[in-house]
């Protein structure tokens, strides 16, 4: 496609406008990145108080599959993206009839379904050099019985719904055949995958950006720590992972993006398995067809953020290879921070936190704090890893954050 240049206008005098389906914090940070370059923005999101809708030039307040809303978005915008993978793939397909859409409906559809996603990882294992954990598909009682009879090697495992699972939702750990049968019934007998539980040494992710004509750039892998299935801490600095393992993860993520013919920013998550080797084995877990929570540190620690690259990719602009100029640790801020130990509302210790050197606070503009709800993040940067760790620990203590032992 021809580049959509920032600050340009068409023959009718309409400004260059980029659109996004979804009004959450990822959409908000995308909007900020696009506006910084001079683009107008449009958000399609049903919530009238959505973080992205509140800061965009245009907010189309309809459901994601509303024909009138989609037509209005297409009329306003020269290119369109999505901020989360569970937007209806059909909506992206409809928009793509008249506008460039990145990523496309087909690849978003793969990421929406764990069964298709794992099949894709298996199909490109030869070029990526990694595969996923052993698993079985459960869509029918007969498939469940076959697993109970023939695949005891998958237990203990994690039963995951094929669709709509994120941040630990739609997942049940099972140790025995009886627990597996009960868990599948508890999940409503919907399509699932049973994934063998592996001895994990670490988790990491890689952010890749790919343009319309195949140009690819990427960030160095970051090491992630989760609490209750939700990202708590991201370590992003040289030495956060063994160099050889980091190189393998980066190469694998690029290969997966190329195999998909992907356009936009893609996050690929990996498990590092404690298999007895010096650095452990690498297993691909899942992918997110969008910027990712683990990449938020790039706003403050790199000369181009994941959101900058998303804007460049969808607008057909050159993709700069990002350079990380500072070591960083990112701390996720959930709604729990706004409540004390007895559950009473409290004001977080912002004054003390913002007094710390290298503290970068990002709040998402959500009006109601709830336990487990992503309200913001705090990135700590500094001149060296030791000082960043010291400040991050202090910030985590002030805010009573989980994952302190992992910093």
Q: Do the annotations mark residue 150 as ligand-binding?
A: no
Q: Do the annotations mark residue 57 as ligand-binding?
A: no
Q: CA–CA separation, 40 vs 162, rounded Å?
A: 36
Q: Do the annotations mark residue 226 as ligand-binding?
A: yes
Q: Do the annotations mark residue 23 as ligand-binding?
A: no
Q: CA–CA separation, 289 vs 76, rounded Å?
A: 23
Beta strand 135-138 with 192-196 is antiparallel
CB 130 within 8 A of CB 282: yes
Q: Do the annotations mark residue 167 as ligand-binding?
A: yes
Q: Do the annotations mark residue 198 as ligand-binding?
A: yes
- For 344, the 3-state DSSP assignment is coil
CA angle, 145 then 148 then 152, to 5°: 155
Q: Do the annotations mark residue 203 as ligand-binding?
A: yes
Tokens representing 92 are 């992206």
Question: Which stretches of 15-66 are DSSP H helices?
Answer: 25-36
Q: CA–CA separation, 107 vs 259, rounded Å?
A: 11
Q: Do the annotations mark residue 235 as ligand-binding?
A: no
Selection from 70, 77, 83, 80 nearest residue 27 by Cα? 83
Q: Do the annotations mark residue 28 as ligand-binding?
A: no
Q: Do the annotations mark residue 200 as ligand-binding?
A: no
Q: Do the annotations mark residue 374 as ligand-binding?
A: no
Q: What is the DSSP string of 93-130?
A: HHHTTTS-BSS-HHHHHHHH-HHHHHHHHHHTHHHHS-
- Cα end-to-end distance, the chain, whole Å: 44
Q: Do the annotations mark residue 286 as ligand-binding?
A: yes
Q: Do the annotations mark residue 170 as ligand-binding?
A: yes
Q: Do the annotations mark residue 85 as ligand-binding?
A: no
Q: Do the annotations mark residue 157 as ligand-binding?
A: no
Tokens representing 97 are 């009839």
Q: Do the annotations mark residue 1 as ligand-binding?
A: no
Q: CA–CA separation, 136 vs 195, rounded Å?
A: 7
Q: Do the annotations mark residue 314 as ligand-binding?
A: no
- List the binding residues for ATP: 114, 160, 165-171, 195-198, 203, 226, 285-286
- List the binding residues: 114, 160, 165-171, 195-198, 203, 226, 285-286
């Amino acid at each position: 496609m021809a580049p959509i240049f920032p600050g340009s206008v068409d023959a009718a005098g309409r400004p260059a406008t980029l659109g996004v389906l979804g009004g959450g914090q990822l959409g908000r940070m995308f909007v900020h990145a696009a506006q910084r370059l001079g683009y107008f923005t449009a958000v399609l999101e049903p919530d009238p108080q959505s973080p992205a809708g509140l800061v965009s030039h245009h907010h189309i307040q309809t459901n994601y599959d509303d024909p009138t809303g989609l037509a209005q978005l297409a009329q306003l915008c020269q290119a369109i993206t999505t901020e989360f993978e569970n937007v209806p793939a059909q909506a992206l397909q409809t928009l793509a009839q008249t506008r460039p859409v990145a990523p496309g409906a087909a690849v978003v559809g793969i990421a929406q379904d764990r069964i298709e996603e794992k099949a894709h990882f298996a199909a490109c294992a030869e070029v990526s050099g990694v595969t996923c954990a052993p698993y079985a598909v459960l869509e029918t009682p007969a498939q469940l019985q076959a697993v109970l009879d023939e695949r005891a090697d998958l237990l203990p495992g994690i039963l995951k719904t094929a669709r709509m699972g994120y941040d630990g939702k739609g997942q049940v750990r099972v140790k025995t055949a009886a627990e597996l049968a009960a868990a599948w019934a508890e999940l409503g007998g919907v399509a699932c995958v049973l994934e063998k539980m592996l001895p994990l040494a670490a988790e990491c992710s890689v952010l890749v950006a790919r343009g319309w004509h195949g140009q690819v750039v990427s960030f160095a892998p970051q090491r992630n720590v989760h609490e209750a299935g939700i990202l708590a801490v991201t370590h992003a600095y040289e030495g956060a992972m063994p160099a050889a393992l980091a190189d393998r993860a980066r190469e694998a993520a690029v290969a997966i993006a190329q195999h998909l013919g992907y356009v936009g920013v893609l996050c690929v998550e990996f498990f590092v398995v404690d298999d007895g080797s010096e650095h452990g084995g690498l297993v691909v877990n899942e992918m997110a067809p969008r910027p990712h929570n683990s990449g938020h540190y790039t706003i403050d620690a790199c000369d181009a953020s994941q959101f900058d690259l998303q804007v460049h990719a969808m607008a057909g602009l050159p993709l700069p290879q990002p350079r990380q100029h500072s070591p960083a640790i990112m701390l996720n801020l959930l709604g729990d921070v706004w409540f004390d130990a007895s559950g009473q509302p409290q004001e977080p210790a912002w004054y003390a936190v913002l007094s710390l050197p290298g503290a970068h606070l990002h709040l998402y503009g959500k009006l109601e704090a709830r336990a487990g709800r992503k309200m913001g993040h705090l990135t700590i940067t500094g001149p060296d890893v030791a000082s960043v760790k010291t400040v991050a620990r202090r910030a985590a203590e002030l805010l009573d954050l989980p994952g302190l032992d992992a910093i």
